[in-house]
Structure 1
């Protein structure tokens, strides 16, 4: 079992989470490595909790199925539950936001592509379309009358 963990400084916002619904699925993008031969896939791969793929040999479905080109083994990953939201805290604490049941593979790096959501910590203003690809985000909360930001973002894939 692996988890995607996040640490970030949230200023004026809380409840940071991916925009991940059946109508608008979030694609989690990772670098993947085979645990059998240690071969790393040359490209980043994406998976959604709303898409499933059949595993060969009638072994069921998974959110991501990959056959390693080097050792020819088939590996899979299933997302265990909806993503957890990251709450504002001082000092920032590392929190698991996604749990992944990985079989024969591990994710070594996360790329924060996709749309994120947050809520104003004082005003309850809803922020959408947050882009974390540059590892920081700045906006202005009209209701609170102040700048809001997400900075010092650190992603980690670790054992759950």
Structure 2
């Protein structure tokens, strides 16, 4: 049982508190990333979608998980379980310091998550408090004008990493 902590970083211009639309533990937020089979090393050709709100029963034993996927090469099953409670918004201060903010923890068995893909469903607020919701980061950046603060707001240089956690 290996746990992977997804952490994100970005350059935030006049913005703070970047996080999924419903907060870091939003059950409807979809995480997209490629999976690498720990048995044979095969990397999934397409991104896999995992959501806290989607659960399936484990094939053996009791309990549920958020994803069961069979490796196309070695045909072994692997699971990914989303573990809420570890995520925090990316703040302006962390962005300026070029720090990564924890987003979500995944318990992976048989797979290793790699190559996180930013998509839609984000929210962020300007330094003046203007809220921007439904932000789509699939294009790699976001730019808007904050009428209240009378300045441009921007998200760019999106980055992510998966850290192994005990």
TM-score, normalised with respect to structure 1: 0.90
Match of 2:91 in 1: 87
Question: Over aligned residues, Cα RMSD in angstroms?
Answer: 1.9
Q: Match for residue 108 of structure 1?
A: 114
How many residues are paired up?
Answer: 159
Q: 1:3 aligns with which of 2, 5, 18?
A: 5
| Structure 2 unmatched ranges of 5 or more | none
Aligned counterpart in structure 1 of residue 144 of structure 2, from 118, 127, 139: 139
Residue 133 of structure 2: aligned partner: 128
Displacement of 1:158? 2.5
Aligned pair in 2 of structure 1 residues 45, 138: CA closer, same or farther (>3 Å)?
same
1:72 is paired with a residue whose SS is: coil
> Which stretches of structure 1, 4 residues or longer, exceed 4 Å deviation after superposition?
21-24
Q: Note the 1:6-155 alignment, pairs <5 A.
A: 6-20=8-22, 25-82=28-85, 83-89=87-93, 90-121=96-127, 123-155=128-160
How far the C-alpha of 1:24 sits from its partner, in A, is 7.5
Q: Which runs of 5+ in 1 are unaligned?
A: none
Q: TM-score, with normalisation over the residues of structure 2?
A: 0.87
Report deviation, 1:23: 8.7
Q: Deviations over 1:69-121 (max 9, x none)?
A: 32222111111115421111223212221111111101111111121100112
Q: CA deviation at 1:68?
A: 1.5
